[in-house]
Amino acid sequence: METVETMERQPRGLLTPFHVVAVLIVAAGIFVTILRFTKGLGAVTHLSDNNPWGIWIGFDLMVGVALAAGGYVTSSACYLFGMKRYHAAVRPAILTGFLGYFFVVIALLYDLGRPWRLPYPFLFGWGTTSLLFEVAFCVALYLTVLFLEFSPAALEWLGLKKARNLAYRLTILLTILGVVLSTLHQSSLGALYLAAPSKLHPLWYTPYLPVYFFVSSIIAGLSMVIFEGALSHKALHHRMGKAYLDNHEDLMFAFAKAASMVLAGYFTIKWVGVAEADQWKLLTTGYGLWFLVEMFGFIALPSLLYAVGFREKRAGIVKTASVIAVLGIVINRLNVSLICFNWQLPSNQRYTPSLMEVIISLFMVTLIVLAFRCIANRMPIFDTHPDYRDSHGE
């Protein structure tokens, strides 16, 4: 039963700035969706033969998959690395990962010329030599794993105890599968661009792209847990249980320490790619300066801020670092897929997204936020169901 204090912390009314903006974006997204599926890609995008992949791949897929990595990072930290005290943070991370991957698939339907043929490779011919097939297969399997990992919360809400207990017993197996599948498809997304050495700028093209994509997904997962936790703390504080609130800062500082070290390692191995290809001379060009901005502004800086925030136990610095690190992942993925792709073409042949492409991307992000709020306000995401508190050691 909710206390008077709890109810007072709940948001009042529907006519808030967030809801107004969300309604406008959803309405615009529905309008563009109708145009896309009635008039075709040409009516809403700036895609061309030179640029067949646009922001729906560069942002919705590449960025979306990276930022949804918090699920496997948090569950593996808790169940595989013994950080049991952070158990309360697993469900929010799993829910974020599940919604992220689910809407990545939805967004992919917009980009495909014939979206109804999406299941064909699984039904009529396995392209086992294709990186795209490997990415699709692993994403489909991992989305299933995330659904099963999330299912105990939904089953508790529905009151299906036997099904919930069965799903909960699969936790360790699902966590291991999640780590394996994430390793495969996170790295394979980078491997896709190994097929385009003449199109991707030499400072970003390297045989280590699969390694970079996987390592940076860990950074994205750690940073998104901190970033999402900070936002949820304000918007959903009334739904948070004692276990989550008690361990929130400890989790934030532990993840900040890990993120600082992974970012430092990532910064180092990025220079290995430059050194091996002997591309030092390109650092004085325009693209080279942009590369340095990415390296020092969005990798070295958040690594330092995470370290300072952890050492001095300053939550504000850690939260700032998480925002910069998340932006760094977004910029890196857009650099590889859009900004530094086809860099050699004249400016009039370069791709820039149309307004309607941007609207669809905002539409997807808004749907994720709305779905997260809806589920977290109804299911035991930030708090444990009273019937199962003993099993979680609370």
Alpha-carbon gap, residue 64 to 55, rounded angstroms: 11
Alpha-carbon gap, residue 364 to 108, rounded angstroms: 11
Alpha-carbon gap, residue 71 to 91, rounded angstroms: 8
Count of helices and strands (H, E) across the chain: 16, 0
Full pLDDT tens readout for the chain, 394 residues:
343 334 334 445 677 888 899 999 999 999 999 999 999 999 999 999 888 999 999 999 999 999 999 999 999 999 998 888 888 889 999 999 999 999 999 999 999 888 888 888 788 777 777 888 888 888 899 999 999 999 999 999 999 999 999 998 999 999 999 999 999 999 999 999 999 999 999 999 999 999 999 999 999 999 999 999 888 888 888 888 887 888 888 889 999 999 999 999 999 999 999 999 999 999 999 999 999 999 999 999 999 999 999 999 999 999 999 999 999 999 999 999 999 999 999 988 899 999 999 999 999 999 999 999 999 998 999 887 777 665 544 4
Taking each helix axis from N to C end, the angle separating 90-111 and 209-235, rounded to the nearest 10 degrees, works out to 120
DSSP one-letter code for 341:
B
CB-count burial class (<10 Å; 0-12, 13-18, 19+) for 301: middle
Element (H, E) at 132: helix 131-158
Asked if residue 4 is part of any domain, the answer here is: no
| CA geometry: angle 251, 254, 255, nearest 5 deg | 85
pLDDT of residue 133: 86
Asked if residue 169 is part of any domain, the answer here is: yes
In angstroms, the first-to-last Cα distance of the chain is 18
Asked if residue 7 is part of any domain, the answer here is: no
3-state secondary structure of 200: strand
CA 228 to chain centre: 11
CA 232 to chain centre: 16
Token pair of 67 as six digits: 């930022």
DSSP letters for 283-326: GGSHHHHHHHIIIIIIIIHHHHHHHHHHHHT-HHHHHHHHHHHH
DSSP letters for 237-289: GGG--HHHHHHHHHHHHHHHHHHHHHHHHHHHHHHHHHHHHT-GGGGGSHHHH
Alpha-carbon gap, residue 90 to 84, rounded angstroms: 10
DSSP letters for 145-175: HHHHHHHHHHHHHHT-HHHHHHHHHTHHHHH
pLDDT of residue 324: 98
329-352: pLDDT as tens digits: 999 999 999 999 999 999 888 999
Residue type, 98: F
Asked if residue 2 is part of any domain, the answer here is: no
Domain span at 202? 17-385
Alpha-carbon gap, residue 183 to 46, rounded angstroms: 32
Alpha-carbon gap, residue 44 to 320, rounded angstroms: 36
Q: Phi and psi of 302, rounded to 5°?
A: -65, -30
Q: How many domains are there within the chain?
A: 1
Asked if residue 1 is part of any domain, the answer here is: no
Asked if residue 234 is part of any domain, the answer here is: yes
Identify the CATH number of the domain in which residue 178 sits.
Answer: 1.20.1630.10
Alpha-carbon gap, residue 118 to 112, rounded angstroms: 8
Residue (of 291, 251, 261) closest to 382 by Cα position? 251
Cα four-point dihedral sign 330, 266, 199, 189: negative
Asked if residue 392 is part of any domain, the answer here is: no
144-203: pLDDT as tens digits: 999 999 999 999 999 999 999 999 899 999 999 999 999 999 999 999 999 999 999 999
Do the Cβ atoms of 224 and 259 come closer than 8 Å? no
Asked if residue 11 is part of any domain, the answer here is: no
